[in-house]
Amino acid sequence: MIQIIPAIDLIEGKCVRLTQGDFQRKKVYGDPLEMAKQFEDHGIDRLHLVDLDGTREKRVINHRVLEQIASRTSLVIDAGGGLRTDEDVHVVFESGAHMVTGGSIAVKDRPTFMGWLKQYGPERIILGADFKAGKISVSGWHEKTSLDLMEFIADYSEHGIKKAICTDIEKDGMLEGPSMDTYTRIKQEQQSLFLMASGGISNMKDIELLEEAGIDGVIVGKAIYENKISLKTVESYILKNS
């Protein structure tokens, strides 16, 4: 069964969604703790938490919200956004995250990222591979690189990464369906990688197609918040497949 992982993105302590990572195209959905409790109440056990203030400030900002969710739910949380230093990672783990996702740091400061992998192990360190037109983007998606997506993932897989979240920036928040060809190709080339697809999910059919392609997890954001996928539907899917 594919793992359905809702996303909570944070700005100023509130749950928001952006479109294609654009801070000018922001919609606020309210209290993140209440949202997390709703997820838990519907049988969901995972959460992808992104500190969008952190991505802009290049340091962890919303760790108090993480602490609240971690202490008041039993969700297994991976946290990302703003992780640049060993201290950032320490704070996030101390605040209750089970895993951290490193994207920009994996591009800009490989030794530090590899140090986290060595210190905490591949079950707790996730590679964030955000891409646009096949090339990796960093710094909250505002900075393009010349790094090829497939080569980037293959390189880190060779160096011990076992989990990756891969986001198509052009699809994110658009509700137009995921980049099936890209995710299928990654999974075919990196069969032992726990691959989580992100961006464009619009309905349960999208999730079922990813599952058929062998993708391990799917990050779902706007489709849940806009009720394109109801939490009751997610709950039914989990019960049916458990």
Amino acid at 192: S
When pLDDT is cut at 50, 70 and 90, the band that residue 140 belongs to is low
Mean pLDDT, rounded, of the chain? 95
| Token representation of residue 186 | 């990654």
* Rounded Cα gap, residues 30 and 206, in angstroms: 26
In CATH, what number does 3-241 get? 3.20.20.70
Statement: residue 124 has pLDDT above 90: yes
When pLDDT is cut at 50, 70 and 90, the band that residue 19 belongs to is confident
pTM: 0.96
Percent of the chain, pLDDT > 90? 90
Q: What is the pLDDT of residue 69?
A: 98
CB 220 within 8 A of CB 6: yes
Can you give the residue ranges of every domain in the chain? 3-241
Q: State mean pLDDT over 68-87.
A: 97
What pLDDT digit, counting tens, does each position of 28-61 carry?
998 999 999 999 999 999 999 999 999 999 999 9
Residue of 9, 78, 88, 206 marked catalytic: 9
Among this protein's residues, is 130 annotated catalytic?
Answer: yes
| Token representation of residue 8 | 């909570």
Among this protein's residues, is 22 annotated catalytic?
Answer: no
When pLDDT is cut at 50, 70 and 90, the band that residue 139 belongs to is confident
**CA nearest to 239, candidates 75, 36, 44:** 44
Any bridge partners for residue 198, and if so which?
Answer: 167, 219
Residue of 78, 130, 168, 206 marked catalytic: 130
What pLDDT digit, counting tens, does each position of 185-205 carry?
999 999 999 999 999 999 999
CB 83 within 8 A of CB 105: yes
Any bridge partners for residue 127, and if so which?
Answer: 102, 164
CB 9 within 8 A of CB 18: yes
Q: What is the pLDDT of residue 180?
A: 97
